[in-house]
Structure 1
Amino acid sequence: MNNYFGDNVNEKLKNVTIKNLLTHTLGLSERTYLKQFGNNKDDIIRGLLNDDLQYEVNSTVAYSNRG
């Protein structure tokens, strides 16, 4: 994630891979609503990149619509 978004990423997300996103092992909450982060693209991206993880990366398979 750091390669794509720079230093504006939650510390827990810095080493996340595309594979984590595709295999649902990132640790994101199953309940995500983009509107909870705001109404414009920049606010939504900032909210997603700074939100806490529900699980430790690679510890649980949990479907999330964020990926």
Structure 2
Amino acid sequence: MADLFWAALGLMLVMEGLLPFLNPRQWRAIFQRAAQLSDGQIRFLGCASLCLGGLVLWLWGLAG
């Protein structure tokens, strides 16, 4: 189980690092726009991300 956690963490870091590595100018612009969002908008995005991630994990669990 710990191996799966570390693999998931590594994959997340790879995905998070793709945009700043490939296109730092666009990443900076996206980050600046995100900093201007209200707390409610950021919470909504966080909730949507949590739900989508949970759905993916649930579907992956059903497939496995």
TM over 0.5: no
TM-score range for the pair, normalised by the shorter chain length: under 0.3
Q: Which has the higher helix share?
A: 2
| Higher radius of gyration, 1 or 2 | 2
TM-score by length of 2: 0.27
Point out which structure has higher relative CO (alpha carbons under 8 A, 6+ apart): 1
